[in-house]
Structure 1
Amino acid sequence: MFENRLTKVLKHLRKTAKRQGITCFRIYDRDLPEFPLIIELYEDKVYVAEYRSQHGMEEEAYDEWLHASLDVIAKVLQVPADDLHLRTRQRKQNRQSQYEKMDFSKEELIVQEDGLKFKVNLSDYLDSGLFLDHRITRHMVREEAKDKKVLNLFCYTGSFSVYAAAGGAASVTSIDLSKTYLQWAEENMQLNELFDPAKHQYIHADVLQYLDELKMNTYDLVVLDPPTFSNSKRMKDILDIQRDHVEIVNKVLLATKKGGVVYFSNNLRRFVLEEESIQAGSIKNITAQTVPFDFQGKLQRHCFRIVK
C-alpha cells in the first residue's frame, strides 16, 4: 500500500518539479494514516521525518516496521540507504527543539532553488535549514525587494534574506535568537556572493524584545515568520502567536514606512487573524497563492500580505 502510494505521487510530483526546474521538494506528507512520515528530496538526498504516534506496537515490531518503510522509500526513490536521513519528531514540539543539535554527523550539501544556492543539513537538527513550503513567498519577496530596506524577523537560516538581496534590496537586516542560524544565514549569503557587511546586518537578539528597539518608519519590506509557540529559556517572554500576534504585527508596522509591506505567516492550524485590531491600510490573505505544488492540500500554515 505504501509503495504504491509513494510510486504514484513521486511520478506526478517529479514531472511538475522538472517542469519548474525544482530539485528540492516534498514527496509525501502523512498521506496514509498507517505511515506517519514526511519525505523530502534534496537533490539526490532524502530527508525522512518520522512522527512518533500511538502505534500500539511492541518496540521490536515498530523497529521492523520502520526499517521496512525505509527500505520501500529507498527502493521507490532509487537511492542508497545511506542517502536516507531519518529524524524523529514528537507530535508536540516547542521552538527550543528546533535550535537543539540532535546529531553531529554533519550531513551537509548545497542545493539550488530559483537560481540561488542554500546549505542544508539533513542530520544534525530537527529541520533541514530550508523550509520548502515558503518557496513561492520567497520569490514574491525577491520580486518586491529592489532598492528596498528589508527586515527579516525570526530569520532562521536567512533564505528570505538571500532572496531579498538577490532581488536588489538596498539593505537586509536579519534577526534571530540563534547564533548558529545567523552564521548559517551569513554562509547562505556568501554562497550566492551577496555577502556585504556594509549593506546587510545580522543581529543576535530575542525578536520580541528587539521589536521595541526598532526605529519607526524605517523598513519598506518586512518578513515576519514567528513560531506558533515558544517557551525557550533564551527568550524573556513566552510566545503564543494567537494571543500575541496583534501586538507583534502592530509593533512591526510602526517600524514600517507608509505603503510598506509586511509578509506575515505562521503555522498554527486554527489561527484566526484579528484584522480589526491591526493598524494597517490593507490586509490580504495570500495563503492559497503561496502554496507550492508539493504542498497542495497538506499545508497548515497561513500567510498574509499586510500594507501599512
Structure 2
Amino acid sequence: MAKQQPERGTDEAFLQLMTVSGSSVLKLLGVAPEKADNYHFRAVALKEKRFEPDVEGIPILESDDSKEAPVFVEFQGYKDPFIRYRLAASVFHGCAKRKYKSRVIAGIIYTAQEYQDAALSLSTVTPIQKYQNLTNFFKEIVLTDYKEKELRATDPKLIVLAPFTLDTETEKAALLKKSQKWRNAVKRVFPTHQRREALDILGLFILNRFRQLEYEEVRAMLDFDLMDTVAGRQVYDMGHQKGHQNGHKSGLEIGLETGLQKGLQKGHQDGWLEKAREDVLEVLYERFEIIPDEIIDEISAIELRGVLKQLHRQAIRCADIDSFNEILLRTVE
C-alpha cells in the first residue's frame, strides 16, 4: 500500500520547527522544561527514511550514564494506518543501531483527529497485554484538541502551531486578523536570527491547515515571502505540478500572477502601510520588550500612513507603554 501524500506537506515545516525550537515541542510531549533543553535534534532526510522517525532527539551530553531519554518523534498530517508500527520499528531499530540502554520517549503529533483515528493499534498484531495500552510507550498529541492559549502556556514559541487550533472553515477576515497576531507574536518570542525561519514555518502551517487559501494570500497575511525559502518553494512546486496534472494552472501560480498585477496598483501602498506598522512596533519592542496584544491589534488595524507616522514619533517619545496606549486610544477613536 503506497504511503498517502498530503496536498501541502507538513513534514518539512515540522522538521524545521524542531531544528529551530525542538525543546518547545518536547514540552508539548510532556518533557519537563528543565530537561527539554538538554537535547540536540537530527532531522532524517525524507527520501532516506526507512525505519527512521521524522526527528530523533539525542541527549546533548550523550554517554552510557546519560539520564536523558532518547526521543523519537513522528509528525502526521494525513491518514496512515501503520504510523504506530513505523514508529515502534524506528525506536527498536534506533536503539539497536546506537546501542541505547536507557528508556526512550516516543511521540506522534497529529495535525487532526481523523489522522489519529486512522492509526492501527499495536494490539492488532499482538495479543500481549502490555501493548493494549500505549500510554507508557507512545505519547500522542492531536493539535486540534488544543486552544491557542494552551500552546502558548506550554511554550510561547509554540505559537507557530496556532493555525491547527482554528476550524478549517474559519472566514478569511477572521483568519487575516489571527494571522497578523501570530506574526507579531513570532516577532516577540523568537530572537532576531530565528524570526525568518519561524515565519516560514507559520506560513507553511497556515497553507496546510487552510487549503482554500492561495500562496499570495498567506504572503499578504504575514508580510513574508515564502518563495524565499526552500520549504516554501517545495510547496509551490507541489501546487504547480498538481495544477498541470489537472489540465489548468495551479492556484499557487494564479495567485502569483494576480499578485503581480495587483502589485502594480496596490502593492506599494500596502507595503508602505505594513512597513509603517512594523516601524511603530519595532520601537515599542526595543523600548519596552513586552507589548500587550490589544496594542498590537490596534496598530495592525490602522490603514492611514499619516497616523502611523505620528504614532512612530510618539513611540519614541512616550515615557512608558501605558502612556503610549493612552495616545493610541485617543488616535483611533
TM-score range, shorter chain: 0.3 to 0.5
TM-score (ref. length: structure 2): 0.31
TM-score (ref. length: structure 1): 0.33
Which structure is larger by alpha-carbon Rg, 1 or 2? 2
- Greater percentage in helix: 2
- Greater percentage in strand: 1
